[in-house]
Amino acid sequence: MQSSSPFSQSRLGLQQDCCISYESCQERIMAAEPVNVNEFQELARQALPKMYYAFYTGGTEDQYTLKENEEAFHRIIIQPRILRDVSSIDLSTTVLGYNISMPVMIAPTSMQKLANPAGEIATARAASACNTIMVVSTVSTCSLEEVAACSNAVRFFQLYVYKRRDISAKLVQRAENNGYKAIVLTADSPRLGRREADIKNKLIVPQPKNLEGLLSTKFVSDGGSGLEALANGTLDASLCWEDIIWLKSITNLPILIKGVLTCEDARKALEVGVAGIIVSNHGGRQLNYSPATISVLEEVVHAVEGKVEVFLDGGVRRGTDIFKAMALGARAVLVGRPVIYGLAAKGEYGVRRVLEMLKDELELTMSLSGCSSMKEITRGHVRTKHDQLLSML
């Protein structure tokens, strides 16, 4: 066997030096302040135990829908307008009549103390600082009363309907008594989707604060996910459209329905009198191969004909994503995972920075697209894959 030449040894040494230099450069980048929302995910990965990071990032089965939620945005092109006065940009809008600083709300995300000891309280304070709406999860690790007491942010309450309807009714009453402004009914979860990372990691579920004294969370998981055992043992799989009438009878709060993905269900939601629709596939955590939310948003918007506000949940990582959703008819978007990444990495400050980054990126996108306010963002500002196919006919 021949010995290597001085040239090959020198080249090998150069490659090793380059690798070391690249790795150290990457470490310095991640140690610095993140410059976009995606960089917070890596910081969250470094900060969290494997089990909890997998819980927040994972989807169901082979995660097609989880990936498609983001990738579908990439297939939509922005068509800017030039020579427009964009010296002043107004990002403000309203949701159910409540003024917010930008068309971005915080989606309901469960068990936030797994990400940071301050949990939902830190998130609520960040929402208040950024003048936007937080949707508080039923399965939160701070009680809805604790969240209400910590800030003056406008809050909505996300509701699961349990087999024991009296428990759900008590949660709704508590939300109304504590100043929450709307109920967000999650309608896509008769059972929990198969989240294989949680099964492999044997996810341990802490006691949800809102359910203390109301519902036992001690369910046998058969060696798999504790969350799956809890959900399948308590959620009401008989929940149907007629039950919206029951929900309306126990509260004066407006009801938004979360989980709509078709024009047929959008029309049914109108028939039962909801105040708003959230186009959502549960962040790719329920039915795998359900459509990316941005790909069906316009279908839902057309179905409701402006009679209720429509919101988009899922896949938003950039200001350009928000702009695209607005152009396709959304009133606002909801962000979940990015908020958790910010919370895990830097607590309340991290959540605030995530929201500020999205706001700054949206402002820049609007400026470069020739839009000075939300009402100036129109369907003509985007070109979808469907539009491109039609143009070839």
Which residues are the active-site residues? 282
Sign of CA dihedral 345, 225, 196, 143: negative
Q: Please enumerate, as own/partner, the contacts of 119-122 that have beta carbons within 8 Å and a separation of 24 or more.
A: 119/343, 120/146, 120/147, 121/146, 121/147, 121/150, 122/343, 122/347, 122/348, 122/351
CB crowding 275-305: b at 16 or more within 10 Å, else e = bbbbbbbbbbbbbbebbbbbbbbbbbbebbe
How far does the chain reach from its first CA to its final CA, in angstroms? 64
| Nearest-angstrom CA–CA distance, 48 and 32 | 18
SS3 185: strand
Stretch (H or E) spanning 38: helix 37-47
Strands 255-260 and 276-279, sheet pairing: parallel
| Nearest-angstrom CA–CA distance, 320 and 382 | 11
Tokens of 47: 């900060």
Task: Please name every residue paired with 94 in a beta bridge, in sequence order, or none if there are none.
Answer: 99
What are the start-end ranges of the E strands in the chain? 77-78, 93-95, 98-100, 104-106, 134-136, 155-159, 183-186, 255-260, 276-279, 309-313, 332-335, 382-383
CB neighbours of 305 closer than 8 A, spacing ≥ 6?
none
| Nearest-angstrom CA–CA distance, 184 and 157 | 6
| Nearest-angstrom CA–CA distance, 129 and 150 | 12
| Nearest-angstrom CA–CA distance, 165 and 162 | 6
Stretch (H or E) spanning 243: helix 242-249
Radius of gyration for the alpha carbons in the chain, expressed in angstroms and rounded: 23
